[in-house]
Structure 1
Amino acid sequence: MDTFGTLKIFVHVADARSFTVAGRQLGLSSSAAGKALTRLEEHLGVRLLHRSTRSVTLTPEGNCFLERSRRILGEFEAAEREVAITRQSPSGTLRVSLPLAGMLMMPALSAFMLAYPEVELDLDFTDRLVDVIDEGLDVVIRAGEVRDSRLMTRTLGQFRLMLVCSPRYVARSGMPRQPADLRHHACLHHRYATSGKLEPWPIKSSQNAIDLPRRAVANTIEPLIDMAERGLGIACLPDFAIRDQLRTGLLTAVLEDHTRHEGTFRLLWPSSRYMSPKLRVFVDYMSEHLIAGSQSPSRTGPMDKMPSSSSNSGAFHVLTKT
């Protein structure tokens, strides 16, 4: 028995309350539709329909089976539409929200634009609280933790905050050996744009909290990188933003044995039955090229438990409404 085709006949007959009308809709004779449903009833061992010369009505078992049949056919049609969408070329406007430090992600974003020229990126650089769904955003890149059952998430990779300075600064001011030595050094601080508070440095110390000097304060990362490169002080920066400087020796790590921090970058986008081609290719491309160590997408919630979004994990804490 063609189970799927028979389910389709059953749903049409149940809706039309007529073998003749259902057969006409499906391009079948009324007798062929009737024989198909008779075979279905024999297969199930129950009567689904009451038949008379004037009408066709559902039995209690038929009502129950109809609900399940609608669901099965609906899921199949949804799967067909989703597959059809994947065959379309990625195009159109994609609204992306990034942290203020997202300028450091421009190499990956520019490469994406070259790879998918039909996708127009509408980039919003901000550290303010954003509501992904209410503001009509397609996707958000953030660090930290978030829990919102309305969103899907893919982990891009891990990063850590580290203290760095230039060899020029070390030659002039010396290298700190213990956390307490920082009291006598020029410290370059990041200020959260939303709260106005200084981002704490991830220093492990058996002593009380160290009151760090303020040589300069900025609410974005790029000026701090520039000042550190010029030998103006010690900055606390995310490792992914200064990999080239560390590799070439332009910057060097400070107090590595006395710092401890780990953060996570994530892509977040509204949960829906269908994923547009432009969003799919963006998520896949960023997962592969932005930061190493990407994972498969998952829904936040029971299968992907996350702490509250109140955590300021790293310089680019998540600002997504829960």
Structure 2
Amino acid sequence: MNERPTLAELSAFAAVARHLSFRAAAEALDIGPSTLSHMIRDLEARLGVRLFNRTTRSVALTEAGQRFAGRVHPLLEGLDDALDEVGSAGDTARGRLRISASETVAALLLRRTVPAFLQRFPDVTLDLVAEPQFTDIVAGGYDAAFRLGEAVPLDMVAVKIGGPSRMVTVAAPAYLAGHAAPQTPSELTGHALIASRTPAGRPQQWEFGRNGEVIRIEAEGRLVLNRTELMTRAALAGLGIAYVPERIAAAHLETGALRLLLDDWCPSYPGLSLYYPGHRLVPARLRAFIAVLRAVPP
């Protein structure tokens, strides 16, 4: 190896190794895919080894690439920490803040928290990634993520946001005008249920509890949707009964556009937490986001 790789080349390699996609990595780095591909070829030429196996449909690390990634990722993280430490000396929040959240949580954040944060900290770019499944925030290059309190990994620092939450069953008055409201979870089987499915394709369970009794129903319906807000809209349209987070339905319950069903059968569970790696320096931009999150919760 005649020359050391440049920092730009190492960052490019780390992005492709993280995303296993040249297009996604190029978008994350805000450069063109052809430019990124050229940088990786130059890096491989400098090292004298192939780092990725490429086909028209997939990208995978070679054995040498996997070993190299194991060395490069900690080095870049250490550099980021050093830059954050220097940049936070004046306690100024700046740079890119990358956060992972479910689509439901992302929608809630966009109502009040995100607008307040962007207004207060104009030097921060918020990269809010809505994902259907939980992700490894370290491997994914995130600063932080949201989960229910009971699901936060033990090696992470958790910041509780708000109080307990719960899932509720709701329907529009138009639907209930032609159907008797269920009094117990077992009576839901006679209703039009707005259903959803797990990533594996199974019907999503609706869970109810009261006085120590727990009832789980595999909700089957003629309408199956994969977005919480779409399920709420379907309920508003009178298409049946939906099972959604109470926070999503709250505004519609207040106006009477939706009615709460089986209230005493819908128990609460630990609320949301923002979490981040405990072994890394907390950058000023993340501290700023946490401060706004506490002052203006979703």
| Short-chain TM bin | 0.5 to 0.7
Alignment match, 1:288: 295
The residue number in structure 1 matching 2:146 is 141
Tell me: CA distance 1:195–1:145, structure 2 relative to 1, closer, same or farther (3 Å).
Answer: farther
Instruction: Give 1:111 shift.
Output: 2.4
Structure 2, unpaired ranges of 5+: 1-83
Report the Cα distance in structure 2 between the residues aligned to 1:236 and 1:82, rounded to whole angstroms.
45
Following superposition, the deviation at residue 216 of structure 1 comes to 1.6
Q: Is the 8 A contact 2:208 2:265 kept in 1?
A: yes
Are 1:220 and 2:227 an aligned pair? yes
Q: 2:107 aligns with which of 100, 103, 111?
A: 103
The alignment's TM-score, normalised by the length of structure 2, stands at: 0.63
2:133 to 128, 134, 158: 128
The equivalent residue for 2:185 is 179
Identity %: 28
Amino acid at match of 2:108: L
* Matching residue within 141, 158, 161 for 1:156: 161
TM-score, structure 1 normalization = 0.59
Determine the C-alpha separation between the residues in 2 that align with 1:263 and 1:233. Answer: 28
Q: CA deviation at 1:226?
A: 0.3
Q: CA offsets, 1:116-151, max 9 Å, x none?
A: 111101121102341111221101012252353542
CA contact (8 A) 1:215 1:233 kept: no
- Asked if the contact 1:190/1:219 (under 8 Å) is kept, the reply is yes
* Residue deviations 1:178-217 (CA, integer Å, cap 9, x gap): 323212111112323x343333212248798656441322
- Equivalences for residues 47-126 of structure 1 within 5 A: 85=88, 87-101=90-104, 102-107=106-111, 108-126=113-131
Q: Give secondary structure in 2 for the equivalent of 1:201.
A: strand
* Amino acid across the alignment from 1:216: L
Q: Secondary structure at the match of 1:196?
A: coil
Deviates more, 1:83-92 or 1:169-178: 83-92
1:263–1:190 CA distance, 2 compared to 1 (3 A): farther
Q: State the superposition RMSD in angstroms.
A: 2.6
Determine the C-alpha separation between the residues in 2 that align with 1:100 and 1:218: 13
Separation in 2 of the partners of 1:208 and 1:98?
A: 28
Asked if residue 276 in structure 1 is aligned to residue 295 in structure 2, the reply is no
Q: In the TM superposition, what whole-angstrom CA distance separates every residue of 1:240-296 from its partner, at most 9, and x where no partner exists?
A: 1111111111111111123324242110112245321101011121133224xxxxx
Q: Over alpha carbons, which structure has the higher Rg?
A: 1
The 1-side partners of 2:224 and 2:206 are apart by 13
Instruction: Report the residue type matching 2:109 in the other structure.
Output: M
Distance 2:144 2:130 in 1: 13
Partner of 2:201, secondary structure, is coil
Contact 1:82 1:274 in 2 (8 A): yes
Equivalenced residues, count: 210
Q: For residues 126 and 276 of structure 2, what CA distance do their matches in structure 1 show?
A: 15
Superimposed CA distance per residue, residues 6-46 of structure 1 (whole angstroms, 9 cap, x where no aligned partner)? xxxxxxxxxxxxxxxxxxxxxxxxxxxxxxxxxxxxxxxxx
Shift of 1:100: 2.1
